[in-house]
Amino acid sequence: MYSRKLMHAIPPSEANRGVSTLPIHGAMSDATPGRAAAIPPPSAEFLVLLTFAIDTLMIVAALVCASSSDKHLALRTVIPDILWGQFSTYILTGLGVYLVTLGYTGAYNRQRFFSSAGSLQVVLKSACVWLVVFLALSLAFKFQPPVSRYFFVFSFLNSMVFLSAWRLVFCHFLLESKWNVAFRKKAIVVGWSKESDVLFNKILCDPAHAYEVIGCTPSAHGKFWVRPPSQVPILGDYHSLQEIMEDHRPDIAIMADLDPMMGEIIALANLCMRENVQFKVIPSYFQTLSSGLHLEHVSGVPVLGVSKLPLDHMFNRIVKRAVDVVGAVVGLILSVPLMVIFGFLIRKESPGPIFYSQARSGMGGKSFNIYKLRSMKLDADARGARFAVENDSRCLKIGAFMRKWNIDEVPQFWNVLVGDMSLVGPRPERIENVKTLKGEITHYNARHFARPGVTGYAQVNGLRGNTDLNARLKYDLYYLENWSVFLDFYILVRTFLKQKNAY
């Protein structure tokens, strides 16, 4: 099938390793004699339709229950009259807008069904969008009969509760039952590299994953860059890929070869097309911000690169800045009493300035002065810049309390207001530390693609102070790749609940 021969043959014992134990998805184990075979799990399409149908019932129930709050349509009204009477305009419009919104926000993507956090997030996002659109439509078209604003509020709350509750139950059921097989996509890996090792380990550790690696083959060079795990059977040689696909019917073929020839990529892509298998490539050349990989055309020529992060979009930047300005104004107003009280306590324990400023590295590497309530002694930096540690002798007694509850950070609302910082983002680092770290930690400077934050995703996960900088960077990059207004609010709420390593 392929003109290129394997450069290194796989020993027969290796080529056949694990083939006999390959799981056959959708089929049951041999039935005990005299016993009927178990019913196979339903198809993914059936489960999506089932989810769609129950979502419809939950939304209708939420709208009907909300009608009890309206003086024109109390629950004493017979439910059929609500559904098919004048109020049917609200039911049909609200239902249609809600279902479209759920589809738009990815509520019917396979992976969402396995993640309780993902399910809650998509329901919250859909409910907020739905409320705005539904209210706007009712005002624009003057739906009859007129209803009070309480109807919309209760519809919003009811729908969130009903949809969240049933989807959490469904998520738990899928994780515990054999039905999840219908949602898993079977994948084979061509070649094996460090990246495919990471992918496989992530799948093993994540119960919400939507894929299952059923086997692998060597690359066109006849070798693996990294030896596959023992749990992954080697299905055969590279030149047998067509037979392997016919026998095992994978949904996806993933190329993990680090040094493929262009002809090999085209040949494998064409084979996948003929066998109705999705073709994917692990982008070995992009080790960071990979979710921002985007294929665009320059004068008709396709170019792949990191270009489309959420905050690259003007609308998202405007929304984030608007939230920052409102949050900074409110934060400054509310924090004035705190700054007065803790300023007095700081001065009483350690005479000297109440506020502390320091040059930090901001968006694009541009420096700015960050402001804090002073939580350490005046000579804290006499021996140079150091990370704070537990029971740090440089810390004031009142300073330890302030750092635990992030009170020392409240003056940074001013930094947010003037545009040096955001409410949420990667924490700004000292300029001298950045000069060192960008040479020691790969992709460290990628965290400067956005404004630094008063709080951040790494910090609410306990990565602050003298903690692993590589792990901290991973959380910062995850934030940049997955930013949303809802993620920002989630981080802000957790800031007040998490004090791990806050010293």
| Listed residue (284, 289, 323) closest to 309, CA to CA | 289
> What is the spatial distance between Cα 188 and Cα 23, in angstroms, rounded to a whole number?
13
Q: Which amino acid is at 458?
A: A
- State the average pLDDT over residues 252-280: 83
Contact partners, residue 441, CB within 8 Å, separation at least 6: 469, 470, 473
Tell me: the pLDDT tens digits for 351-396? 889 998 999 999 988 999 999 999 888 776 656 666 666 667 788 8
Dihedral sign (CA 311, 313, 314, 318): negative
Tell me: the pLDDT tens digits for 480-502? 988 988 899 889 988 887 666 55
Tell me: the pLDDT tens digits for 398-438? 888 888 888 899 999 999 999 999 999 999 998 888 888 88
Res 396: pLDDT? 87
Query: Confidence band (pLDDT; 50, 70, 90) for 289?
Result: low
> What is the spatial distance between Cα 153 and Cα 131, in angstroms, rounded to a whole number?
8
Res 6: pLDDT? 33
With beta carbons less than 8 A apart as the criterion, state whether 371 and 415 touch: yes
Res 158: pLDDT? 92
Res 463: pLDDT? 83
More confident residue, 89 or 472: 472
**Of how many residues is the chain composed?**
503
Res 35: pLDDT? 42
Residue 344 has pLDDT above 80, yes or no: yes
3-state secondary structure (DSSP) of residue 105: coil
The order of strands in the sheet holding 185-190 is 211-217, 185-190, 252-255, 278-281
Res 267: pLDDT? 86
Provide the whole-model pTM.
0.55
Dihedral sign (CA 273, 279, 285, 291): positive
Res 443: pLDDT? 76
Give the start-to-end residue ranges of the domains of the chain.
44-176, 184-287, 314-495
> What is the spatial distance between Cα 14 and Cα 128, in angstroms, rounded to a whole number?
54
Dihedral sign (CA 196, 201, 203, 206): negative
Contact partners, residue 136, CB within 8 Å, separation at least 6: none
| Listed residue (418, 486, 496, 417) closest to 455, CA to CA | 496
Angle separating helix axes 314-349 and 397-404, nearest 10 degrees: 160
More confident residue, 231 or 112: 231
Round the CA-based radius of gyration of the chain to a whole number and report it. Answer: 28
> What is the spatial distance between Cα 487 and Cα 61, in angstroms, rounded to a whole number?
29
**Percentage of the residues of the chain whose pLDDT score is greater than 90:** 28
Query: Confidence band (pLDDT; 50, 70, 90) for 151?
Result: confident
Res 454: pLDDT? 94
With beta carbons less than 8 A apart as the criterion, state whether 210 and 174 touch: no
**Beta strands 355-361; 367-373: pairing state:** antiparallel
| Mean of pLDDT over the chain | 79
Res 337: pLDDT? 93
CATH number for the 184-287 domain, one of 3.40.920.10, 3.40.50.720, 1.10.3720.10, 3.40.1350.10? 3.40.50.720
> What is the spatial distance between Cα 113 and Cα 171, in angstroms, rounded to a whole number?
6
Q: How far is CA 186 from CA 4, 176, 273, 289, in A?
A: 27, 19, 16, 26
How many CA atoms are closer than 13 Å to the CA of 270, on its beta-carbon side? 8
Dihedral sign (CA 371, 374, 375, 376): positive
| Listed residue (69, 91, 94) closest to 80, CA to CA | 91
Tell me: the pLDDT tens digits for 57-71? 999 999 888 876 655
DSSP 406-473: TGGGTTHHHHHHTTS-EEESSPP-BHHHHHHHHHHSTTGGGGGGS--EEE-HHHHTT--SSS-HHHHH
> What is the spatial distance between Cα 44 and Cα 27, in angstroms, rounded to a whole number?
15
With beta carbons less than 8 A apart as the criterion, state whether 397 and 427 touch: no
Residue 11 has pLDDT above 60, yes or no: no
Highest averaged pLDDT of the listed ranges 187-201, 206-220, 350-364: 350-364
Query: Confidence band (pLDDT; 50, 70, 90) for 7?
Result: very low
DSSP 36-60: PPPPPPPPHHHHHHHHHHHHHHHHH
> What is the spatial distance between Cα 119 and Cα 108, in angstroms, rounded to a whole number?
10
Report which DSSP code applies to 360. E
